[in-house]
Structure 1
Amino acid sequence: MKRAAYTLAAGMLGAALYVAAAVAPASAATTGPAAAGSAAASAGSVAVGSAPAATAASAGSHAPFILPALPLPPHFSAPYVDVTSVSDLADISAQSGSKVLSLAFLQTEAPGSCTVYWAGNTATPVAASTFGAAIDRIRLRGGDVIPSFGGYSADTTNTEIADSCTDVHKIALAYEKVITTYKAQRLDFDIEVDSLSNLAGIDRRNQAIVEVKAWAAKQHRPLSIAYTLPSTPQGLGATGVALLQSAAKYRAPIDAVNIMTFDYWDGLTHDMLADAKSAAAGLVTQLRATIAPHASDAALWHTVGIIQMNGIDDFGPEETFTVAQASPLVTWAASKHLNMLSFWALQRDNGSCPGVKGSNDCSGVVQAPWAFSKAFARFASWWY
């Protein structure tokens, strides 16, 4: 998935994805030139729900968290939001009706660094003073947030932390800091473009995931891991499959895999709803061939997440996901018991720029404000 220019599950599920025949409920969530974003906790399941200066001061009067996260439900909607493009995360959550938000993105300030910041900006560190009060308000309303690492900008500038940092332990420590600071119960990794061909970075990331999951287990801390990857209409490309093969090699417990079903860039006119369905079916086959050879079909579908780009994507009108397609996608996803639905991005969920492709702050289609958010929110309501 892209920012400004472009961004399961019970612990049993994560472990079982590599070796077990049955998998417990899970959950998941990105976007980019191919791009867009979570999951049931490893010990149970969360009920839901600006500028870099959008910290505690702009979100409320206190910085420390007052509430831990509730368990994520096994099925939920978690639209991505560009944290640099909104003034208050809690306000946009309330206005849109999106209880769970995927927060984009965490990356290093420069190649070679092992420290992540929001949008790679040292003015927005991983700290309670950055977005903490807003996250409290989201949780007070029964929602949650999913921190997302990577995204198009990081993945093309060598600032995705596993590309930037060559020390696996330091990468894991960065993940742990995000978890402890924000009481996060799911981490999302939006890996695309150059990061998909950085084989050393892919291996380091999967090794760090193994370390952080072991750390969380020792602390009895619920944690699920989701990969967000670009897709073709038939499923992951070769580089995405190779990433999952690396996860299998290191036995990294991956709880969900989300596919970005947009930005195909093949010059064809696409039915974005039909292609999302066929891409998800292809992913199920690829999951069995890589990280979950013994899982049932039902368990595999339950680890799948779909991320659309609401409206006209970066390619153009030939790749347009319409408001009319949103409800049928939700109905189909519920019938398959998918883990998560999402779109890039929440700040685009308005009709202020009809005909414009790939805008960061409007969908390019004629729509009522929050039309996509309201349709996707129904995905969670199927289960209550």
Structure 2
Amino acid sequence: MSVFLAALAVSTGSLVTAAGTAQAATPLPTHVFAPYFEAWTGESPAALAQQSGAKHLTMAFIQAATKGSCTVYWNGDTGMPIANSTFGSDIATIRSRGGDVIPSFGGYTADNTGTEIADSCTSVDSIAAAYESVITTYDVPRLDMDIEDNSLTNSAGIDRRNKAIKKVQDWAAASGRSLQISYTLPTTTRGLADSGLAVLRNAVSNGARVDVVNLMTFDYYDNAAHQMATDTQTAATGLVSQLAALYPGKTQAQLWASVGVTEMIGVDDFGPAETFTTADAATVYNWAVSKGINEISFWALQRDNGSCPGGAAADNCSGIAQDTWFFSHAFEPFTGGTSVPGNDFSVTANPASAALDPGKSATATIGTAVTSGSAQQVALSVTGAPAGVTASVSPGTVTAGGTATLSVSTTTAAVPGVYPLTVTGAATSGSHSTTFTLTVNGTPPAGGVVNGGFESGALSPWSAAGDAIVATPAHSGTKALQVVPTASATGEAAQNVTLAPNHAYTLKAWVQGSYAYVGVRGGASASTWTSSSGWTQLSVPFTTGASGVVTVYVHGWYGQSALYADDFSIS
């Protein structure tokens, strides 16, 4: 039993006693940009916040480990308790840089599996104690409730959640603590559906204050044509009308100041028909400043890169061509709420790829567009051409809104393979780039994972400590690799592989076990993971650097049981 629940057991019902002495958390800015951080990836939120420039993060997600439990963990992972040992130092670092975090309860998985705390736990006091434990452990000024899917129809859970929020708000007020509550809810393009409104109506009936209603302006799944920036504006306008009916004493300015929007940058889960573009970012930013809304967010910080243009929705890339951290940089000035974006532009290639036999050539149109402010001069250049390939852009300078021609030619000595060429536009406001993917037809040079099926019965050339070759379980053949994490360290096996330089590849491997990661580092950096009791194939696209050398690895998260890997390949 936690100290909070233990205190509740002996108190007269006061949650103030349960939580101990409150500290004075610093309130969030009136207007804040706080993208979601995927807390299950093993990455450091402080490091990514610094790299992206996003001072504030929404941390996703907190939930129970099993349905029926009243104890919460990060990601429902019992190895990630609500304690200073989990993200405590990261949050302190973020705060030392002038930022903060917003812990988010729920999320689609929890809402779908009954592990959202108010759905899982039937004790209002225990739910309130869970909220208070997060507040006091990390000294945060806001909690977010991400309520979707089955949680929207669980009337008992909705009522328990709002009753617990009211108890926590009373505790915070008695303790002199600044505390805000936000509800993150799915939306239509015209405002909340009735299921979302029901959550807010219940909050009103329970006296629970909702400071921010954060609309998920994506995943509409209505098979309609979408312009995502326009849909954001119409959804928020509809919400303000709905809030006016719920809170008739508020002015229009106060209603707009309680609105938040969360975009899904790039391609959302529905597919390319719902794509939030780099141009949409400028439109939403300018609109958000003009309306004075409270929050801009997006899903998710780890997706803010263009490593998978043309792809589907993924947790680690946006699916569109973009600069790394483009959306973070576009929205960062919103924090504080007074700045107006200056001149900026975008760069595109049409077509974005070509396949050539050695000795052939191709062209593409490089387009530029004004995304904010006024048109400016943009200097264009292209890099990444391998031996036997030449690439140039003409004219070398255009006014934003103009076009140029990318010319690519190959010689008979060009090495077959896939080569990303980077076209960069530079101006006084900064630089942006786009990728033109050149495929030189033919068979690429040999190279790949050695002993990828472990049928030799030996680890070599894999470097590993404490790992072993086992006969069962094996995905194919008679052998597989067993990777054994410890209580305090990841278990890992790795080998160096030499491939063609500046070439696009895909690493594949079969794994089973908790938090099994497969990836490459060194000359390229990419990874993915799964938690599965059965064999699951992971696929990791990557592009080599100038040397062609990468380190292929598989590892398991510390504190987890052994995992198994088999049948590594690179193609």
The reply to whether TM is greater than 0.5 is: yes
Q: Return the letter of the residue paired with 2:153.
A: S
Q: Which residue of 1 aligns with 2:333?
A: 378
Q: Which residue of 1 aligns with 2:58?
A: 102
Which residues in structure 2 correspond to 1:201-280 (within 5 Å)?
A: 201-280=157-236
Q: Return the letter of the residue paired with 1:190.
A: D
Q: Which residue of 2 aligns with 1:341?
A: 296
**d(CA) in 2 for partners of 1:184 and 1:193?**
27
User: Residue deviations 1:191-225, cap 9 Å, x none?
Assistant: 00100000000000000000000001111011000
Q: Which residue of 2 aligns with 1:80?
A: 36
User: Residue deviations 1:9-62, cap 9 Å, x none?
Assistant: xxxxxxxxxxxxxxxxxxxxxxxxxxxxxxxxxxxxxxxxxxxxxxxxxxxxxx
**d(CA) in 1 for partners of 2:26 and 2:206?**
30
Q: Within the alignment, does 1:311 sit opposite 2:253 as a pair? A: no
User: Residue deviations 1:57-108, cap 9 Å, x none?
Assistant: xxxxxxxxxx975331100100001011242110000000000000000000
Q: Return the letter of the residue paired with 1:295.
A: K
**d(CA) in 2 for partners of 1:93 and 1:363?**
18
**d(CA) in 1 for partners of 2:72 and 2:335?**
31
**d(CA) in 2 for partners of 1:156 and 1:248?**
25
Q: Which residue of 1 aligns with 2:80?
A: 124
Q: Which residue of 1 aligns with 2:306?
A: 351
Q: Within the alignment, does 1:363 sit opposite 2:311 as a pair? A: no
Highest Rg: 1 or 2? 2
Name which of 191, 208, 211 aligns with 2:147. 191
Contact kept, 8 Å, 2:32 with 2:337, in 1: the verdict is no
1:111 deviates by 0.7
Q: Within the alignment, does 1:158 sit opposite 2:114 as a pair? A: yes
**d(CA) in 2 for partners of 1:376 and 1:144?**
16
Unmatched 5+ stretches in structure 2? 1-22, 340-571
**d(CA) in 2 for partners of 1:281 and 1:165?**
35
Q: Within the alignment, does 1:301 sit opposite 2:256 as a pair? A: yes
Contact kept, 8 Å, 2:147 with 2:183, in 1: the verdict is yes
Q: Which residue of 1 aligns with 2:452?
A: none
Q: Within the alignment, does 1:176 sit opposite 2:136 as a pair? A: no
Please identify runs of 4+ aligned residues in structure 1 that moved more than 4 A: none
User: Residue deviations 1:259-313, cap 9 Å, x none?
Assistant: 00000001112000000000000000111222x1211111000000000000000
Q: Return the letter of the residue paired with 2:128.
A: A
Q: Tell me the secondary structure at the aligned position of residue 360 of structure 1.
A: coil
Q: Which residue of 1 aligns with 2:494?
A: none
**d(CA) in 2 for partners of 1:134 and 1:147?**
13
**d(CA) in 1 for partners of 2:24 and 2:173?**
17
Unmatched 5+ stretches in structure 1? 1-66
Contact kept, 8 Å, 2:30 with 2:336, in 1: the verdict is no
Q: Tell me the secondary structure at the aligned position of residue 198 of structure 2.
A: helix
Contact kept, 8 Å, 1:351 with 1:362, in 2: the verdict is yes
Q: Return the letter of the residue paired with 1:334.
A: V
Q: Return the letter of the residue paired with 1:98.
A: A
Q: Within the alignment, does 1:135 sit opposite 2:124 as a pair? A: no
User: Residue deviations 1:228-279, cap 9 Å, x none?
Assistant: 0000000101100111111111111111100000000011120000000000
- How does the TM-score come out when normalised to structure 2? 0.55
1:381 deviates by 5.2
Q: Return the letter of the residue paired with 2:68.
A: G
Q: Which has the higher strand share?
A: 2
Q: Return the letter of the residue paired with 2:293.
A: L
User: Residue deviations 1:160-213, cap 9 Å, x none?
Assistant: 000000000100000000000000110000000100000000000000000000
- How does the TM-score come out when normalised to structure 1? 0.81
The count of aligned residue pairs is: 317
**d(CA) in 1 for partners of 2:158 and 2:336?**
36
Q: Which residue of 2 aligns with 1:70?
A: 26
Q: Which residue of 2 aligns with 1:115?
A: 71
Q: Which residue of 2 aligns with 1:326?
A: 281
Q: Which has the higher helix share?
A: 1
1:326 deviates by 0.4
**d(CA) in 2 for partners of 1:225 and 1:235?**
20
Contact kept, 8 Å, 2:306 with 2:317, in 1: the verdict is yes
Q: Tell me the secondary structure at the aligned position of residue 113 of structure 2.
A: coil
